[in-house]
Structure 1
Amino acid sequence: MKEFIRVVKDFLPILPAVLFQPPKDADKKSLGRLFQETAARYEKRTAIIFEGRELSWGQFNELANQYAHLLKKHGVKRGDSVALMMENRIEMLACIVAVAKVGAACGLINTSLTGRPLVHCVTTTESKKCIIGEELIDSIVDVKSELGLADKDFLWVKDHGKKTCPEWACDLAAEIDSMPISNPPETVEITAGEKALYVFTSGTTGLPKAAVILHRRFLSAAEPYSRVAFRAKPEDRLYICLPLYHFTGLGPGVGACFYSGASIFLRRKFSASKFWPEVQEYKTNLFVYVGELCRYLAAQPVCEAEKNNPLETMVGNGLRPDVWGAFRDRFKVGRISEMYGSSEGNAVFINLLNKDRTIGTTSAKVMLVKYDIDADEMVRSPKGKLIAVKKGEAGLLLTKIDDRYQFDGYKDKSATASKVLRDVVKRGDSWFNTGDLVRQIDVGFALGLGHYQFVDRVGDTFRWRSENVSTNEVGEILNGSDQVDMANVYGVEIPGIEGKAGMAAMTLNEGVSFDPVSFSTYVCSQLAAFARPVFVRIQGQAETTVTFKLFKGNLRKEAYDINQIEDAIYILKPGSSVYELLDEEFYQKIVDGKSGY
């Protein structure tokens, strides 16, 4: 009965937000309008704090308006696309809002991109202008001639003033103060069905794809995440250190503040050592995260600033089960609203009832269907129908596309078509293929709402010894070893052997030397024989994206080739229970198909 009362009390206040209906495409609602209406409502309250600088909502809106008028002066109009390459700072957010206010779409460029991927991102969105921060000007210089833009199409925004604006670019800092501070008249005319943003996939394989974010989609993140996940209020303050070209930081994070009037503490980049002192100093009680960032925090030594900290609620994705406890027990975070979704996906899951180790629930219609790991394809019945998995089994997640949960896709129409399955349940229906393996789990009393748990990306699960192995689950267990800081698990081929053998590229905790005997004891006690990595690679540093996703592509290619790799590689030989260094003799046996596996 106590659990029933707790869940009901937790659910009732957010019921209106749970029933939230996205705006219709023709509705005059947009990112820019939401921002300026919130700014008018909370004009004198703090909107944003960044590197010692603080702006009220009124001041922030005036700055965004000046950039909007400046963009119009330089020829940007409704329906255009504008590329934006800038690090997290006040001007970056002001430019995003400014582009939205004039009705153009803002292409958010990953700040680490150079060369061909950078050219691809600017040109694929058909950007008419490129706003570039002083801090990243060198990246543009190297590819400027390949972008198809005239010199004055580059709009330069000062940072610390260490560099001067190049002659071929327009210095916005020299013009900004002369611009009007009034709201552009076209902002209130922009509709929910117009393009607001292009958010690029991480591009861990191939070139990044531009996901189309309509104003409707941004608003569909801002209100529910604000009311359901963060439960944000104007007096709250959100700690944001994720890159704002990534939708987790921008949609659920910034969007929640744009909706609620909560203030933003913005950081240029994440720092594990400065996190808790800043949480205390700036009294941030909300936090938007990605999972590996949380792992870095959990791995830090105990510090005074983490004790009695003001952090109450955190919202994000990818929080691993082995780290969840640290935030509950060590850091005393009362509410963890893990979510699941993607920049381009049509549905989201939210842990709205504050259950442990779950991505939560969704009001979208979903299917979990059988997936053949070896063949890398969905399993079909003799009649060609997809087969639903049983409750508790991992299956490929499909989300139904309908009027409420629309799939806006990518700029590339062929990439959009590749993600849609048709005639799945009945003729004429459409489903979004998430590419993720998910299982439904029992979380106790939950008002009848199905709850789910992320298992792995398709391709990150492999088959060994006739068993499916989840790289995510094995990685979580290896991370529990007192030697391991981070484990990146993937499958590699062994000549003459069906399936793929597990391999873990691991970084060790600071000051720790790898002890294969104690590690072997841990692995054998925690993992079934088929799930134990056959190979272990000891890395000095893990290779991750700027959003802390682990790269696996190069690791898979290099596999266990001791002639290519300088890192130490250990192997669990057939019949052995102790890892030992892989030497040239046994490596040659593997290559020759005589390893005995």
Structure 2
Amino acid sequence: MSLIHRIQSYGTLARGLLEGTGSNRTLAVELERRSVRQAEHPFLLYEDQQFDYAQANRIVNRIAHAYRAAGVRKGDVLALLMENRPEFVWHYLAAGKLGVVTALVNTRARGDGLAHAISVCGANQMTVGSECLPAFLAVRDRVADELLVRCRVDEDRKVPAGDAGGLLRFVQSPTSTDPPETAEYTLGDTGAYIFTSGTTGLPKAAVMSYQRLTSVGRVTGALAWRLEPSDVIYNCLPLFHTNALVIALSSVLAHGATLALGRRFSAGTFWHDMHRFEATGCNYIGEMCRYLVNTPADDRDRGHRVRVMVGQGLQADVWTTMQERFAIPRIVEMYASTEGNIATINLSGEVGSVGKLRLGGKLAKWDFERDDFVRDNGRLVPSGPGEVGVLLGPIRKKTPFGGYRDEQATRAKVITDAFRDGDALYNTGDVFRVDAKKNLFFVDRLGDTFRYKGENVSTTEVQEQLVRWPGIASASVYGVPVPGREGRAGMAAVVLADGARFDGEALAAYLDAALPPYARPVFIRVRPSLETTATLKLSKLALRREGFAPREGEPIYVRDAGDRTYQELTPERYEAIVRAEERAMTLEGTERL
């Protein structure tokens, strides 16, 4: 990056962060402006379809006018349950033209999770894609009658609704002019409820202002993507989450570029799509990149136009492999959370870092044994170079914390009088290490790190070492309680690489060289696949609940502290551990397990 470009970029960052909440430059207004200034420029590519900015604006207007005719007004909450397709973008932007809050429901939610999401967001309007209709109909008896009468089905051209269960069909209005009220709404208004990923429990509805939904796209587009109108950014991550909605869609729209939309991520077709759309960039989640580097080599690995990838959660080993194998000139790792008020961007290319500790962010020491912050005379203790700590974001006018619809959940994330009287900080719940140059390196989630043998075990570190072993394709690491033992013993659920068999002796020797004794997994469960969230984050809730209990078709291997190999956990051995009757299998006194 040239000096001039860097100065311009940081100027854009400052303008984006400081832009007043009274401004009306929302995404809906941006679309209207682009539809005039770049009328024929491609805005959205999807399969064999192409929509220019003017065409997209007309479609969005027809949807907005249909909602207006149905009595939908500012302050209403529209629950949108729809997979990635152009109609998702149209409904989202149409709601923005009317000042309607869009609650973006996870399309993989089922049963209790789906009913919870619809209820907790306070929706009084709902639009369901026909592709999601079966899941919705399965919980319709748990949906309020007043919402059911305002629920409409938008048909996917590939998945006709068939029997819509008596629900209304969504029909666009013939009116395609810009609604007059769009310019009345400001960046300070609430634009969406976006659900947290729910990797360890039921998701919470985070409150997203138009400022977050719009300005972050302007900043990311300038700093991370360095977007030009000629750029084509490919997104195959779900639009109901911030990575796709803000890093991809908002950035593209704010800078007048083109979005190529994939229905969902597929490692087998990813590079085919990149070539087909002539994409110059794409956004990512770390696990997505791991899937890509585990695919067989292909002619499409190179010869593409990709100049940059932007995303989160990319581990160092995959980073270098990804860049070398697929010839990616720039990888920009970021850190941000859906509800958080602090974000970082790695502009230096420092492998493994999420960027610098800036904008007033703080790292505070955490006592993993007490499960609380370290305090000195009641104040939090800052982490220094080489130390780990929990990242905190200062809550102030320039960096507000919007919180959740649940006020109690919002209060639980705020720490007051932390470093001085009267301060307030948002607790990210994420643990980082900082170096002497203020580079941040992600260590783990607070809920994932666990104590074993008096030491803190980073699940991220253990997982990274496991997947480096040639026989393991993917791994999820967590702690499990064992009767009669302090802390939690390390456990990993792994998927073996194609054609590989579990070699307990070789794996044990590898881990002995790669990890300290306390971090080596005690139990390893071999599974055909690992459950992930819709944004490809590993979901550990069910795995923790299962513990080390054997399941048919999923062998578990256990390694005693003095053993050279992992051995299969037999039913007899499992019962002995659970009853803690066989003293050779206890941790205390014998250092077994």
Task: Give the TM-score taking structure 1 as reference length.
Answer: 0.94
1:372 pairs, out of 367, 371, 378, with 367
Q: Is the 8 A contact 1:322 1:477 kept in 2?
A: no
The answer to whether 1:284 aligns with 2:272 is no
Following superposition, the deviation at residue 307 of structure 1 comes to: 1.6
| 1:199 aligned partner, one-letter code | I
Q: Is the 8 A contact 1:292 1:548 kept in 2?
A: yes
Following superposition, the deviation at residue 249 of structure 1 comes to: 0.6
Following superposition, the deviation at residue 585 of structure 1 comes to: 3.9
- Give the direction of change, closer, same or farther, for the CA distance of 1:481–1:167 in structure 2 (3 Å limit): closer
Following superposition, the deviation at residue 363 of structure 1 comes to: 3.5
- Give the direction of change, closer, same or farther, for the CA distance of 1:362–1:155 in structure 2 (3 Å limit): farther
> Which residue in 2 is equivalent to 1:556?
544
> Which residue in 1 is equivalent to 2:470?
482
Q: Distance in 2 between matches of 1:165 and 1:266?
A: 28
2:448 pairs, out of 431, 438, 460, with 460
> Which residue in 1 is equivalent to 2:169?
171
Write the deviation string for residues 433-456 of structure 1: whole angstroms up to 9, x where unpaired: 00010111356xxxxxx2201110
Q: Distance in 1 between matches of 2:119 and 2:572?
A: 50
Matches within 5 A, 1:495-510: 495-510=483-498
Q: Is the 8 A contact 2:193 2:207 kept in 1?
A: yes
Q: Is the 8 A contact 1:366 1:397 kept in 2?
A: yes
| 1:38 aligned partner, one-letter code | R
Q: Distance in 2 between matches of 1:495 and 1:123?
A: 38
Structure 2 residue matching 1:537: 3-state secondary structure: strand
> Which residue in 2 is equivalent to 1:388?
382
> Which residue in 2 is equivalent to 1:447?
none
Q: Is the 8 A contact 1:48 1:266 kept in 2?
A: yes
Q: Distance in 2 between matches of 1:294 and 1:38?
A: 33
| 2:292 aligned partner, one-letter code | L
Structure 1 residue matching 2:339: 3-state secondary structure: coil
1:431 pairs, out of 425, 434, 441, with 425
Mean Cα deviation higher: 208-217 or 371-380:
371-380
Following superposition, the deviation at residue 193 of structure 1 comes to: 1.1
1:572 pairs, out of 559, 576, 579, with 559
Structure 2 residue matching 1:58: 3-state secondary structure: helix
The answer to whether 1:294 aligns with 2:289 is yes
2:63 pairs, out of 59, 67, 71, with 67
| 2:87 aligned partner, one-letter code | E
Task: Give the TM-score taking structure 2 as reference length.
Answer: 0.95
Q: Distance in 2 between matches of 1:421 and 1:115?
A: 34
Structure 2 residue matching 1:265: 3-state secondary structure: strand
Q: Distance in 1 between matches of 2:442 and 2:199?
A: 20
Q: Is the 8 A contact 1:7 1:353 kept in 2?
A: no
Structure 2 residue matching 1:530: 3-state secondary structure: helix
- Give the direction of change, closer, same or farther, for the CA distance of 1:279–1:442 in structure 2 (3 Å limit): farther
Following superposition, the deviation at residue 115 of structure 1 comes to: 2.2
Q: Is the 8 A contact 2:252 2:258 kept in 1?
A: yes
| 1:536 aligned partner, one-letter code | I
> Which residue in 1 is equivalent to 2:316?
321
| 1:572 aligned partner, one-letter code | R
Q: Is the 8 A contact 1:348 1:362 kept in 2?
A: no
Q: Is the 8 A contact 1:23 1:29 kept in 2?
A: no
Matches within 5 A, 1:338-377: 338-377=333-372
Q: Is the 8 A contact 2:96 2:191 kept in 1?
A: yes
| 1:223 aligned partner, one-letter code | R
Q: Distance in 2 between matches of 1:237 and 1:19?
A: 25
Structure 2 residue matching 1:272: 3-state secondary structure: coil
Structure 2 residue matching 1:359: 3-state secondary structure: strand
| 1:58 aligned partner, one-letter code | A
| 1:583 aligned partner, one-letter code | T
Q: Distance in 1 between matches of 2:5 and 2:433?
A: 24
Write the deviation string for residues 105-126 of structure 1: whole angstroms up to 9, x where unpaired: 0000001122232222222222
Identity %: 34
1:115 pairs, out of 111, 115, 118, with 111
Q: Distance in 1 between matches of 2:250 and 2:31?
A: 9
| 2:485 aligned partner, one-letter code | I
The answer to whether 1:159 aligns with 2:159 is no
2:224 pairs, out of 217, 220, 229, with 229
> Which residue in 2 is equivalent to 1:127?
123
Mean Cα deviation higher: 232-241 or 585-594:
585-594
> Which residue in 1 is equivalent to 2:245?
250
Mean Cα deviation higher: 348-357 or 128-137:
348-357
Q: Is the 8 A contact 2:74 2:98 kept in 1?
A: yes
> Which residue in 2 is equivalent to 1:3?
none
> Which residue in 1 is equivalent to 2:482?
494
Write the deviation string for residues 388-439 of structure 1: whole angstroms up to 9, x where unpaired: 1221111111111111110000011111111000011221110000001011
Mean Cα deviation higher: 45-54 or 115-124:
115-124
Q: Distance in 1 between matches of 2:127 and 2:161?
A: 16
Structure 1 residue matching 2:78: 3-state secondary structure: strand
Matched positions, count: 581
Q: Distance in 1 between matches of 2:169 and 2:485?
A: 61
Q: Distance in 1 between matches of 2:202 and 2:458?
A: 26
Q: Distance in 1 between matches of 2:442 and 2:71?
A: 45
> Which residue in 2 is equivalent to 1:306?
301
Mean Cα deviation higher: 13-22 or 60-69:
13-22
Q: Distance in 2 between matches of 1:542 and 1:58?
A: 43
- Give the direction of change, closer, same or farther, for the CA distance of 1:362–1:184 in structure 2 (3 Å limit): farther
Q: RMSD of the alignment, in Å? A: 1.7
1:405 pairs, out of 399, 405, 416, with 399
> Which residue in 2 is equivalent to 1:586?
573
> Which residue in 1 is equivalent to 2:413?
419
Structure 1 residue matching 2:526: 3-state secondary structure: strand
Q: Which runs of 5+ in 2 are unaligned?
A: none
Structure 1 residue matching 2:311: 3-state secondary structure: strand
Q: Distance in 1 between matches of 2:251 and 2:163?
A: 34
Following superposition, the deviation at residue 533 of structure 1 comes to: 0.8
| 1:23 aligned partner, one-letter code | E
- Give the direction of change, closer, same or farther, for the CA distance of 1:40–1:352 in structure 2 (3 Å limit): farther
> Which residue in 1 is equivalent to 2:34?
38
Q: Distance in 2 between matches of 1:196 and 1:425?
A: 33
Structure 2 residue matching 1:273: 3-state secondary structure: coil
| 2:318 aligned partner, one-letter code | V
> Which residue in 1 is equivalent to 2:268?
273
Q: Is the 8 A contact 2:34 2:54 kept in 1?
A: no
> Which residue in 2 is equivalent to 1:88?
84
Q: Distance in 2 between matches of 1:240 and 1:435?
A: 27
Following superposition, the deviation at residue 7 of structure 1 comes to: 7.5
Following superposition, the deviation at residue 165 of structure 1 comes to: 6.1
| 1:29 aligned partner, one-letter code | R
Q: Distance in 1 between matches of 2:167 and 2:570?
A: 56
Q: Distance in 1 between matches of 2:502 and 2:426?
A: 44
Q: Distance in 2 between matches of 1:305 and 1:457?
A: 36
Structure 1 residue matching 2:392: 3-state secondary structure: strand
Following superposition, the deviation at residue 386 of structure 1 comes to: 1.2
Structure 1 residue ranges (4+ consecutive) displaced by more than 6 angstroms after TM superposition: none
Following superposition, the deviation at residue 517 of structure 1 comes to: 2.0
- Give the direction of change, closer, same or farther, for the CA distance of 1:192–1:18 in structure 2 (3 Å limit): closer
Q: Is the 8 A contact 1:130 1:155 kept in 2?
A: yes
